[in-house]
Amino acid sequence: MGAPVEWVGRIRVHPLVADGVLAVIGLVISVWHLVGKSTESDQINVPAGVVLCVFAGVTLVFRRAAPFTVLGLTTLAVLVYTIIEQVKSPIALFMAVAVYTVVTRKDLRTRTIVVSTAAVGTILVSTRFTEGDLFTNVFSAVMVLFAAVLGEAVRYRQAYLTELEQQALRAEQFREEEAERRLIEERLRIAHELHDVIAHHIALMNVQAGVASHLLREQPHEADEALGLVRENGRSVLQELTVLLGVLRRSGSSMPTSPAPSLRDLDSLIASFTAAGLEIDWRSPSTDVLPEVIGLTAYRILQESLTNVVKHAPGAVVQVRFEQRRGSLLVEVVDDGGRRSTPFRTAVDASPGTGHGLLGMRERVAAVGGELSTGRIVAGGFRVHAVIPLENGAFGDDSGAAGRRSDVDPERVPGAGELGARPGGRS
């Protein structure tokens, strides 16, 4: 059982071997037929017929390398054989195989010319030089046409398999690109979360540590309170980092995680910044019907905005406004630039920023289809203005695409000066 399978494998691997086997089979059939006819008629030229059969068989071996040349030579051998022997012979098989090869490899116009010429030529030669009825005279032509039909079938199957292979390659490429895109999105999301967690608490710790250093000698009690806030923020950032790193280390969605922050957590957020010396004028928004993703986005915008105020304008007065209108949630944070004199402003220098915070806010707002504009205001200070569309119908307003505002210039807000960071840059 193993030997035949091994031979079949070799034939498939080496096309020249396959063509050699095919030529030997055709040669045996043709010579056998020729010898049989020689016993019936003295006019049969056996040596010449054998030479022509061998010539056609050897030529057929090279059909893949030179299909047109092989077709011409095998056709010539068939015609000469028919004229000399004046009998029909299986030698026409060689021409049929050559026709099949041309059909599977050439264009439609070439295929049509080759098949028509071969079929008509065999009919004319058979009718002129051999005896027999119409059926026997067109037998060789039928053999050529059968080879052409078989070649077309194989050609279409090869084209079909090639298309399937291309589709599989495109699907695989799409899956790889999709996986890479999701990986990049996940990395950006993690980077945003890390920035939100670390920048907020580290900024507050920096402010409180500066205040403690400033008041340590003259007001040790207040300095001790500031250091207590540093420790509290340190514990908070460690806890949040532990949760976030746990998500990265472990797979699956069944592991417990802390709920994402939302506008319901504004009291503690505002309190942490008030303890860092900001004077915040705000009013708690209605959060009962806000989608979770909208609440998280608004929370992160406020958190990053207040963190920037602590870093760049410590001790500033901040106006925070939430407003629901036209199917959107408006979030606005405006500071006065820290003009008033406070221990926090004295103890902490404004720090330069990298711009990552503003970029992160812009990406968060864009992810939910909203608009964000930031810039200095003429009176001094900085303004962050975000319009976040709510889900259609959340507040009974189904006009527009998810409540997207058309009257907000994404590059400028009313009362804002030229965009960009204050001297030193906001992050």
pLDDT tens column, 337-347: 876 656 555 45
The pLDDT value given to residue 10:
59
Q: Give the total residue count for the chain.
A: 427
Residue 214 lies in a domain: no
d(CA 244, CA 326): 36
**Among candidate residues 137, 164, 179, the one where a domain is terminated:** 137
SS3 130: coil
Is residue 368 assigned to a domain? yes
Residue 327 lies in a domain: yes
CATH number of the domain to which 290 belongs: 3.30.565.10
Same domain, 269 and 415: yes
Total tally of structural domains belonging to the chain: 2
Non-local (6+) Cβ contacts of 348 within 8 A are 206, 207, 210, 211, 314
Q: Which residue among 79, 104, 137 closes a domain?
A: 137
Residue 247 confidence (pLDDT) = 61
C-alpha span between 102 and 106 (Å, rounded): 6
Owning domain of residue 285: 264-427
Q: Which of 122, 137, 152 is the last residue of a domain?
A: 137
Counting Cβ atoms within 10 Å, is residue 52 exposed (0-12), middle (13-18) or buried (19+)?
buried
pLDDT of residue 414: 34
| Whole-structure pTM value | 0.47
Whether residue 114 lies inside any domain: the answer is: yes
What is the rounded CA–CA span in Å between residue 276 and residue 208?
6
pLDDT tens across 339-380, in order?
665 655 545 555 555 566 788 888 888 888 899 999 998 888
Separation of alpha carbons 255 and 247, rounded Å: 8
The answer to whether position 182 is within a domain reads no
Q: Are strands 382-389 and 328-335 parallel, antiparallel or unpaired?
A: antiparallel
Question: CA 371, CA 385: separation in Å to the nearest integer?
Answer: 8
CB 137 within 8 A of CB 123: yes
Q: What are the Cα distances from residue 134, in Å, to 84, 127, 138, 140?
A: 21, 8, 6, 11
CA dist 28 → 43, 233, 374 (Å): 21, 94, 89
Shared domain for 130 and 278, answered yes or no, is no
pLDDT at residue number 312 = 82
Read off the tokens for 199: 């920048």
**Low-confidence residues in the chain, pLDDT < 50:** 1, 253-256, 346, 392-424
Q: What is the DSSP string of 371-421?
A: EEEEEEBTTSSEEEEEEEEPPTTTTS---SSTT--SS--TT--TTB-SSSP
Q: Is 181 a domain residue? A: no
Answer yes or no: is 177 within a domain.
Answer: no
422 and 284 in one domain?
A: yes
Read off the DSSP letter of residue 323.
E
Residue 351 lies in a domain: yes
Would you state the structure tokens that stand for residue 359, as one six-digit string? 């970029």
